[in-house]
Each structure stands twice: as C-alpha cells, then as structure tokens.
A = this chain, B = another copy of it.
Amino acid sequence: MDDLLRLADTDFSSRLILGTGGATSLLALERAIVASGAQLVTVALRRVDVTTPSLMEVLERCGVRLLPNTAGCYTAADAVRTARLGREAFGTDWVKLEVIGDERTLLPDAVELIKAAAQLVADGFVVLPYTTDDPVLARRLADLGCAAVMPAGAPIGSGLGITNPHHLELLREAVTCPVILDAGIGTASDAALAMELGCDAVLLASAVTRAQDPTAMAAAMRHAVIAGRLAARAGRIPRLTHAQASTPGHPTW
C-alpha cells in the first residue's frame, strides 16, 4: 500500500506511534507493541539508559524504531542537554522534544519549546516537538524546520480525547509538515477522530499501557488509526440538520 507516513527521510506504513510510559511489564509492553502494529516507539530519555538492555531488546525484537523523548524537562537547556545525551547513547538524531511548563497539566511551555527546537534543529536533530493545539505556535515550529508538529489533544494521561477539535483543524491548515496527535487519547474513537481532523499520525501511551487489556486496546488503536485515515480520504458526507431519505422513486435498490 502506498499511503505512507513520511517523517524526515523515512517512510512508515503504520500511522500509530506508541509510548512506553505506564507499561506494567516488559512482556505487556511487547505484546502491545506487536498488537498495535507500531513501527516507532518513544522512550523517555530520563527513564532509560543503555545500561537497561532489556527494553532495547524488546524494541529490537519487535523491529520498531526508537524515538527518544525529553519527557520531564522543564527548560530549553535541560531538554537540549537531554537530547544530546540521548543522541550519543542511542545513536539516533531523532528526538521527540518535550519542554514541560506545568506539573498539573504537563502542557508544553511555548517560549522554552521554541528555544529548544531552534537549538536542536541547528544541531542537526530531526525534531518532533510536543506542542499545544495553538496553530500560530505550530507554524513557528514548522518554520524553524521541525520534521512534524505534535499537538496535544488533552493533557498527557488524561484520556479526555480531543478537547478542541476546531483548534486541531486550524492547526492542520496552518502547517504543511506532518501533524501527529500527541497526548490525551483515551479510546479508539479519539484516535479515529484525530485522523479525520487531518492528523497524519497518532501517538499514545497511557491509553494502551494503562488499559485493563493493553493488548486488546493496542489492536483497537491500530484499527482506529486505519479507520480514521481511510475516512479522512474517502470524503465524508456533509452534516445535515434534517434527515435525507434514499432517493424517492429510485427504481432498483
């Protein structure tokens, strides 16, 4: 199938990206990764190191690419430093950039995020920044040379879904780079909706890792992202205020 997601110079046939946070065991994680069909898995640099071979082995066994992230960083300086350490440790210049502004919401800090993104792009990183659903900020990040923008649908781990679908549509219009819904997904219909609103991919962790049955939810998410992508391209019917019957007098079916 030729409907591929291109990030930087790499094509992915899966549009679902998985995070590892919240997984209750490596075995549960491995099963979820397999069921999700994900080809890209993000791992918090502050929670893992190369002396933790077991997680790396799981990712390798699943054949997925590692996307290090800077979760837990609250300043540009900290995020940049963490990203650089990650590059050395894991041999990848891809980074999911998180610069958190608030412990209660875990929403990004716009000012520090812009600073860190500019620095990391200049350093040659492929930067995938976690951002708010603000279309103006997203365009700034895209203009800096980020490889994608990753707006939050709702606070990390909240499971609230996409609290502002309208903003996500405005953000989609504002940039030409890939848009990856990141954070907030609670269930399958949220992931499908993200794709229908124009996202190119969906990243989620808790929705799968903390579900009662992570493997089943991972499979649900795989189907949901495919469903949403297909629907977004199929040209949905318009929303009507009133009913529309099948063509009256239609002769055959």
**A residues engaging B (CB < 8 A)?**
20-23, 26, 29, 43-44, 47-48, 52, 54-55, 71-72, 101-111, 114, 132, 134-137, 139-140, 154-160, 163-164, 166-167, 169-170, 173-174, 186-193, 196, 205-207, 210-214, 216-217, 219-224, 226-231, 233-247, 250-253
- Given the complex, which residues of B lie within 8 Å of A246, measured CB to CB? 20-22, 44, 47, 71, 157, 205-206
Contact of B54 with A231 in the complex, beta carbons under 8 Å: no
Identical subunits present: 4
Contact of A160 with B156 in the complex, beta carbons under 8 Å: no
Contact of B241 with A158 in the complex, beta carbons under 8 Å: yes
- Given the complex, which residues of B lie within 8 Å of A48, measured CB to CB? 252-253
Residue of A101, A102, A169, A192 most packed against chain B (CB within 10 A): A192
Chain B min CB distance to A51 (Å): 10
Q: In the docked arrangement, what's the CA distance between A77 and B4, Å?
A: 43
Q: List 5 A-B contacts (CB under 8 A).
A: A26-B253, A47-B252, A48-B252, A52-B252, A155-B244
Q: Specify the chain B residue showing the minimal Cβ separation from A159.
A: B237
- Given the complex, which residues of B lie within 8 Å of A55, measured CB to CB? 252-253
- Given the complex, which residues of B lie within 8 Å of A174, measured CB to CB? 102, 104-105
Q: Specify the chain B residue showing the minimal Cβ separation from A20.
A: B253
Contact of A105 with B242 in the complex, beta carbons under 8 Å: yes
Q: Specify the chain B residue showing the minimal Cβ separation from A216.
A: B234
Contact of B192 with A189 in the complex, beta carbons under 8 Å: yes
- Given the complex, which residues of B lie within 8 Å of A170, measured CB to CB? 104-105, 107, 155, 242
Partner among B52, B132, B157 whose Cβ is within 8 Å of the Cβ of A132: B132
Contact of B158 with A240 in the complex, beta carbons under 8 Å: yes
Partner among B26, B71, B135, B230 whose Cβ is within 8 Å of the Cβ of A188: B230
Q: Specify the chain B residue showing the minimal Cβ separation from A250.
A: B47
- Contact status of A237 and B253, CB under 8 A, knowing A111-B110, A227-B227, A246-B205: no
Contact of A243 with B211 in the complex, beta carbons under 8 Å: no
- Contact status of A71 and B245, CB under 8 A, knowing A105-B136, A136-B107, A223-B226: yes
Q: Specify the chain B residue showing the minimal Cβ separation from A223.
A: B227
Contact of A244 with B137 in the complex, beta carbons under 8 Å: no
Q: Specify the chain B residue showing the minimal Cβ separation from A247.
A: B22
Q: Specify the chain B residue showing the minimal Cβ separation from A171.
A: B105
